Homo-oligomer: A and B are copies of this chain.
Amino acid sequence: MVDRRSGVPAFRQVAADLRQKISAGNYAPGDQLPSERELTEVYDVSRPTVRDAINMLRAEGLVTSEHGRGVFVRPPATIQRIARARLSREARAKNKGAFLADAAARGFTPSTSVKIRFEEADSRVAEHLALAEGAEITVRDRVMRADGLVVQLAVSRLPRDFTRGTAIEEVDTGKGGAYARLEEAGHQIGRFVEHVGARMPTPDEATLLQLAEGVPIVTVTRVAIGVDGRPLEMNDMVLAGDRYELSYEWAAD
């Protein structure tokens, strides 16, 4: 039952009570909540009010509702740890890229689809690649799947000058991937920089990555920098926030 005089909106009181019951374990992960109509009686409010409360919990990622079935406490997804700094030349030489090797090791059947296009650099791309705005760039747009399910989106951008006449402008970059082709062309990679952030997905991303509501995405922008200090490639990656975690490691000194 909600307190009408407290000044706190009814739907917030309902949401707070359900949230508390979930975290206290009254409703365990996977459990079904009482139906919306039952909750209207429990709290003595109308159905839209109950729905407002459930919408809050859904936006927080606490519950999911299934049409025709009910509302359920969202069980925590199993988190895959992705270790970075695994881009050494030896590792690259053995396979086509970190993703395919990693997926195979985990027992998934990996697959990727690639689209290649050419664009002009916008301000963000120009900054990361140290180019002038409007400079021609090669864009490799990849969708990565494990057992058919999309697990990662990646958009790789390189100055066109570095890719002309190489397999980087082909769908199949060949053994060792794009980085190997870059080094063959004389662009030795010196170091990597990654920028990690988070945001809510666009509806397209949510559909592709099959994200439940209230699940953010992790964005990673990796820049490969040559031994001469020139940026060679930038790679924008998008991961489901509830399924992936990135790990970085470095020596204390």
Contact = CB atoms under 8 A, between A and B. Distances in A.
15 contacts: A59-B200, A79-B197, A85-B250, A190-B252, A193-B247, A195-B245, A195-B247, A196-B246, A197-B244, A198-B216, A199-B241, A200-B214, A200-B216, A216-B241, A224-B252
A202 interface: yes
Nearest to A252: B189
Contacts of A59: 59, 200, 213-214
B198 A88 contact: no
A228 to B, nearest CB: 13
Stoichiometry (number of copies):
2
A253 interface: yes
A223 B138 CA distance: 39
A243 B19 CA distance: 27
Contacts of A244: 197
A217 interface: yes
Given A199-B61, A199-B242, A193 B249 contact: yes
Interface residues of A, number: 48
Interface string A197-214: 111111100000000011
A84 B214 CA distance: 28
Given A216-B198, A246-B196, A253 B88 contact: yes
A251 interface: yes
A198 B198 contact: yes
A60 B251 CA distance: 38
Interface in A177-202: 189-202
